Amino acid sequence: MLNANGTHDLGPLQVNSSWVPKFAALTGRPALTVRYWLINDPCFNVQAARWLFLAALQTTGDYWKAVGVYHSPTGWRQHRYVGSVATKLRERYGRAIFD
């Protein structure tokens, strides 16, 4: 699906296509190969998502800020996403999840 900014979310963990050049540089592989892997190799997709989250966590030093940064570089989108994740966790596991 096309995002409003012209990017796509790829694979099971919805890694944004804007990261393809970065991962191509990190892996030394062509961008088309990385894009293919993000779409068709769940293990690669999960590892890429892990790298993104851990990089955000290292940068922010805060779990919830890192969740937001994983989703978007835009502050209001980060805030909205964090709220959505927290709501889904409460719905699934109950309010005690944050005690």
pLDDT of residue 35: 98
Mean pLDDT in runs of 10 for the chain (99 residues)? 89 96 97 98 98 97 96 94 96 92
Domain count, the chain: 2
Give yes or no: residues 1 and 11 share one domain. Answer: yes
pLDDT of residue 17: 96
Give yes or no: residues 73 and 39 share one domain. Answer: no
**Locus of tokens 């293990």:** 43
Which among 33, 38, 32, 40 is positioned nearest to 50, based on CA atoms?
Answer: 38
pLDDT of residue 99: 86
Sequence-distant (≥ 6) Cβ neighbours of residue 20 within 8 angstroms: 31, 34, 35, 38
Give yes or no: residues 41 and 81 share one domain. Answer: no
Give yes or no: residues 1 and 40 share one domain. Answer: yes
Give yes or no: residues 10 and 40 share one domain. Answer: yes
Give yes or no: residues 15 and 55 share one domain. Answer: yes
pLDDT of residue 2: 85
Domain extent at residue 56? 1-60
